[in-house]
């Protein structure tokens, strides 16, 4: 067991966790933040994407012990005062959500992209979400939603 201290969605968190726990399990089972989804569990689908210190990571293969001292943002951290954030709104407006399973991970990948590059090209958007698999939408509405946020 190891004690970790981190910030999750702006709140200080401290927990004793098993050494082999993934960040995904930590978020979902220790903190009850079930917005982050488990798909493949092996780093291939992007459903579990969260932001750690400003970078997107696949939380299913990211050891929770490495989150010690870090700042983590999950899909639950985007909404402010009951208002969806602009990426979430764009996904709704562009019908970029069908079953919704990929959506939290897609939105977190888009968040990481837009932090680094507020005016991405279509190619840059497609590259940024290339690690996120969607079985439903055909991707175009997702790309359109992200591009609509260009300043």
Question: 89: which DSSP letter?
Answer: H
By C-alpha distance, which of 103, 111, 129, 125 is closest to 47? 103
Q: Report the nearest approach of ligand FES to the CB of residue 72 (Å).
A: 15
- Count the site residues for ligand FES by CB under 6 A: 23
Q: Report the nearest approach of ligand FES to the CB of residue 23 (Å).
A: 10
Distant-in-sequence, close-in-space partners of 88: CB < 8 Å, separation ≥ 6 = 78, 79, 107
Among 15, 70, 89, 98, binds ligand FES (CB under 6 A): 98
Cα(84)–Cα(75) distance, integer angstroms: 10
Q: Report the nearest approach of ligand FES to the CB of residue 64 (Å).
A: 14
Among 4, 33, 47, 72, binds ligand FES (CB under 6 A): 47
């Amino acid at each position: 067991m190891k004690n970790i201290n981190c910030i999750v969605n702006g709140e200080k968190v401290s927990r004793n966790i098993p050494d082999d726990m993934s960040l995904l399990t930590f978020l979902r089972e220790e903190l009850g933040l079930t917005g982050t989804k488990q798909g493949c569990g092996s780093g291939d689908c992007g459903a579990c994407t969260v932001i750690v210190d400003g970078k997107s990571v696949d939380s299913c293969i990211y050891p929770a012990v490495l989150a010690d001292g870090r700042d983590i943002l999950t899909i639950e951290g985007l909404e402010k005062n009951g208002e969806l954030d602009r990426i979430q709104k764009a996904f709704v407006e562009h019908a970029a959500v069908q079953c919704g399973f990929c959506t939290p991970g897609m939105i977190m990948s888009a968040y990481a992209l837009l932090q680094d590059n507020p005016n991405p090209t279509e190619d840059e958007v497609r590259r940024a979400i290339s690690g996120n698999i969607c079985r439903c939408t055909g991707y175009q509405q997702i790309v359109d939603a992200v591009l609509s946020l260009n300043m």
